[in-house]
Amino acid sequence: MTPLAALLIQRIREGGPITVADYMAECLLHPTHGYYTTREPFGTAGDFTTAPEISQMFGELFGLALAQAWVDQGAPAPFTLAELGPGRGTLMADILRATRAVPGFHAAARVVLVEASPRLRTVQQATLAPFAVTLTWADTVDALPDAPLFLIANEFLDALPIRQFQRGPDGWRERLVGLADGALSFGLSDLLPQVPDTPAFQTAPAGAIVEDCAQARHAVAALMARITRHGGLAYLVDYGDWRSRGDTLQALRAHAFDPPLAHPGEADLTAHVDFEPLAALAPAHAFDSQGAVLNRLGIAARAARLAQNLTGAALESHLAAHRRLTDPQEMGSLFKVLALTRANAPLPPGFAP
């Protein structure tokens, strides 16, 4: 039993079952035993590998896309260049390296990283130290500056706590985390008087499980408030679908799937992103697969250029990374890109008319 499991069991004994969202929040962000508080989750030594860790091409192409959008919108200065959930700072480092040659971009940029973990902030500061840019941190999306905003979030939304609901013959109940024989166990609440009003709930058949992420909707609303007032563009990259349905809660531990209740605080917890209610908050948006967007941004040409100086195992690794990011059987289709803009803004780079 993990230390956090013992605390959660005691909490449930004293106060009753908790929501899946409360369980996720404790597992990921508990100040003493939370996953992001205590562990190094990224890379081969961690529990999972994200796209920026797979290849520099991911950050380079999205960085140049943000710079192109900045130029297309009149090169506002100053502006906020932001990332949500920046991990070790790898993605932002690739963005800043790729955009060094864009006239005026770095001088106008005020880099803001939305990061709650003090440990990861220290890592990010070291990663980005070589770049001569103004760098600050924010605890939440709400704390981003009220200014033109050019932003990327890669695998940020999937870690936001979700609630789960199940439709029975007599109505909706919420899935809760309680106790069975003294161990953490899933169960159902009493009948609910109402559930969130989103398309996934409206069309769900009997027996279906539907997930809802209020924090994701709040984050997108906060981004759109700034983009609507001042202009900008946000790329939200994550795994999920236009309308996600079913139990998608999953835990990863040492690069392998783990039962979600097995090791609280010692495994990463995520859920597929339901993009439809997020897109509904944006007056103008674009949506496509990661593979399609990266292909339009020119990843094939960039991959060929990088391959010219590689041989042997390094070349094989590079080609495998290109394939992993774009192939429909790998990340190319599973991961989606939602681009948020304001009405009448130019089409975001990477999307077809």
Domain ranges for the chain, please list them: 31-160+214-341
pTM higher than the cut 0.85: yes
At 41 the pLDDT is 60
At 47 the pLDDT is 52
> Which phi and psi (to 5°) does residue 335 adopt?
-90, 140
User: How far apart are the C-alpha atoms of 65 and 71, rounded to whole Å?
Assistant: 10
Report pLDDT digits (tens) over 151-199.
999 999 999 999 999 999 999 999 999 999 999 999 999 999 999 888 8
> Which phi and psi (to 5°) does residue 312 adopt?
60, -135
User: How far apart are the C-alpha atoms of 32 and 9, rounded to whole Å?
Assistant: 16
CATH number of the 31-160+214-341 domain: 3.40.50.12710
Report pLDDT digits (tens) over 11-62.
999 999 999 999 999 999 888 898 887 766 655 555 557 899 999 999 999 9
What would the two tokens of residue 190 be?
């009493």
Give 260's pLDDT tier (boundaries 50, 70, 90): very high
Give 283's pLDDT tier (boundaries 50, 70, 90): confident
